[in-house]
Amino acid sequence: MKRSISKPLITVATVAILAGLVAAMPAQSAGYIFGVRPGQLLQRAYFGADMGKFVPMVGLDYLGVSLEAEGLDVSGSLFVPHVGARMYFGGARAAGNVVPYIEGSLMYSFAMTDLGEGEGAGALEDVVEDALGFWGIGLLFGAEYFFSDRFSVAGEYGLHYLKDTIDLGGEIEETADGEITAGLKTSYTGVALSFHF
């Protein structure tokens, strides 16, 4: 099975370009937003340029896993960079106000794994990393309460659609061309904490 480094490089390059675009917007921007969205599995951090009711954003989700037992030492990290935009509706974002919003995003994930030195570990790492390299879109609805003009907490409901084609390199005989296409639709609720500066 061939291992491709192009997926992580494309992702890093995309996030770097978008971060540069966000940084180049201060003349039009009313400020910036930095926030975190703690989750049960994935932890998200995001940064956006506040342009009034419209906020372009970039961010990163992260999941780290490790397992140690006698004769077994396995670890891995899943990174999910995303780019999107938030649109606020309703009143002013000021202390004491609740402001609803909708947010859309595009995401791509890549994994880094270490499955040890056992027989077939390298091939299994390739399959696992390929399986976790999905593309996705997200849509969420939220309402943000402003404790002050700078700090807010939001409740959110979101939907994700994730798609991946896993290259098995012909290692599983039951698949005709060595590929499996998978799709996953998820919904979630969450809380986000933001700092506006």
Cα gap 158→61, rounded to integer Å: 15
Residue 97 resides in a domain: yes
Beta-carbon contacts of 46 under 8 Å, excluding residues fewer than 6 positions away, are 33, 34, 35, 36, 37, 57, 58, 59, 60, 82
Within-domain flag for 1: no
Instruction: Find the CATH number of the domain harbouring 43.
Output: 2.40.160.20
118 in a structural domain: yes
Domain boundaries, position 12:
6-196
> Is 139 in contact with 102 (CB distance < 8 Å)?
yes
Model pLDDT for residues 167-186, shown as the tens digit of each residue: 666 554 454 556 777 788 88
Q: What SS3 class is residue 120?
A: coil
**How confident is the model at residue 22, as a pLDDT?**
55
Distance, in Å, from the CA atom of 60 to the CA atom of 83, rounded to the nearest integer, reads 9
Q: Is 26 helix (H, G, I), strand (E, B) or coil?
A: coil
> What pLDDT does residue 100 have?
96
Pairing mode of beta strands 110-114, 135-146: unpaired
**Residue 89 lies inside a defined structural domain of this protein:** yes
Minimal CA–CA distance to 132: which of 161, 164, 177? Answer: 164
Q: What is the pTM of this model?
A: 0.72
DSSP structural state of residue 51: B
pLDDT of 3 = 44
Number of domains into which the chain is organized: 1
pLDDT of residue 124: 66
Q: Which residues of the chain have pLDDT under 50?
A: 1-5, 28, 172-173, 175
